Amino acid sequence: MIRTESGQITASSTFLLLALVILTGLGSFFIAKAPLSISLLIITVFILIVVSFLSAEAALYLLVTAMLLSPEFIMGELLGKGTGGRGVTIRFDDILLVVIGLGWFARTAIKKELGLFLKTPLNTPIAFYIAVCVVSTLIGYAMGRLNLKTGLFYVVKYFEFFIIYFMAVNHLRDKEQIKRFIMAMLIVCMVICVIAMLQIPAGGRVTAPFEGEVGEPNTLGGYLVLMLSITLGLLVTSDSTKLKTFLGILVVLIIIPLLATLSRSSWAATVPMLLVLIYFSKRKLVIVIPVVIIVLIAPLIMPKAVKDRALFTVTQRKELGQIEIGGVRLDTSASARISSWKSVLAKDFIKYPVLGYGVTGYSFLDAQYPKVLIETGILGFSAFLFLLFSIYKNALSAYQNSSDPFFSGISLGYLAGFVAMIVHSIGTNIFVIVRIMEPFWFLTAIIIMIPTIEAEELKTKVDSIAVKPIQKIR
């Protein structure tokens, strides 16, 4: 029998023990019959569940590492107009997230004081958005506009991001812990940059590791912009020479592969990111002076491939499907995005304006805002904007009210990165890209928890100061 610290036997504890016994028995039988590779996978998953149960922090470190450094597998093909003809992509961190989630659920079953979903300012907008996605997808299926399996698969993928958020907020406890997580994310970013730079001599656009035969340079570009903003935020607020040196090196390492992605939307996103950093930073010259120098010398040192890519928007030779704006002919990629906006807003949106076509019920769009609007209608778009506004409001509040340089740096960097993601989303589906959203939502959890952690640390300080005079009197 299992007893809690108070000595009481709980139904959840007993159920968990029985479940483990049954699973162990079944697992042993299956392992004895299964091929060696499958057996090793089962054993690995079981070990990860145990690790997740024993130490939530260790599990989160595994997740942080796997966000950009895990392989992906294409399993079959998805049916649906909104998939872009893509296969079912399962990545190792998807499996890891499920495994960690099982460990998390097991911990909360025994230690009920942990809670399953900590109450945060984002709970309501997240719940609202997911609910609209589910309802619109079910209605889209009922009306024959989408494949139910495909639609729900994508909705579950969206929910996966929020699981990362809730798992993180439930386990973030103090400043030192956050420091360790941020350092782990920066080290992973450094590894990603080195791997990306090794691709440069081969020519072509660089991508994140383990992306299969056809990589996504825009995905790597978006991730690098987000991490660059965090790095710069810490750089302009830190007083540690050692940390500044590390961050300065990382900035250089990020910029090189960011340019090599040849991702114009990522380059464009760095502009508002830098403007936000300059506007809110108390040390504006630390950013302004290097930016001015880089702008002045860029035409002299920039690789030809980068210059050609930047100008390609308006210099592509005449092809079918190009759009002219003010006498300037745009390339086919930019023209396609503008055409998709036009089709959604002027023609197709009005057919199902309230709840949209359902997730994956409309043809593939590589632009976040028309995608949300056409798939989930006015309700879904409103929920999405409500979520974005809530994130911005809390990030701004965390930065403005923080007295700790480290927390100020993270908040400032996150705020700038968030604005960059919003701009990036004009021409890319940033908020549904796994390799960007996993670190984004982990960082969001940190930002949301900063006020709580700072308040608790201040309370601890005040209590310790109040106790000292009493001890002296005694």
User: Which residue range is the domain that position 410 belongs to?
Assistant: 117-473
Residue 53 lies in a domain: no
Close Cβ partners of 418 (under 8 Å, ≥ 6 residues apart) = 391, 392, 395
Residue 193 lies in a domain: yes
pLDDT score for 323: 76
Dig out the tokens for 64 from the structure.
């942080």
Residue 217 lies in a domain: yes
- Tally of domains within the chain: 1
- Contact of 337 with 313, CB cutoff 8 Å: no
Residue 33 lies in a domain: no
pLDDT score for 189: 95
Dig out the tokens for 58 from the structure.
């260790």
DSSP state of 74: E
pLDDT score for 204: 82
Burial class (CB in 10 A: 0-12, 13-18, 19+), 78: buried
pLDDT score for 7: 45
pLDDT score for 249: 95
Residue 109 lies in a domain: no
pLDDT score for 89: 62
- Contact of 254 with 261, CB cutoff 8 Å: no
Residue 95 lies in a domain: no
First-to-final CA distance of the chain: 47
Residue 209 lies in a domain: yes
pLDDT score for 6: 46
- Alpha-carbon distance of 260 to 256, in angstroms, equals 6
- Contact of 101 with 167, CB cutoff 8 Å: yes
Write down the residue that tokens 């973030």 correspond to: 172
Residue 89's closest CA among 447, 467, 435, 446? Answer: 435
Residue 88 lies in a domain: no
Residue stretches of the chain with pLDDT short of 70: 1-55, 71-93, 101-117, 212-214, 314, 321, 326-327, 463-464, 466-474
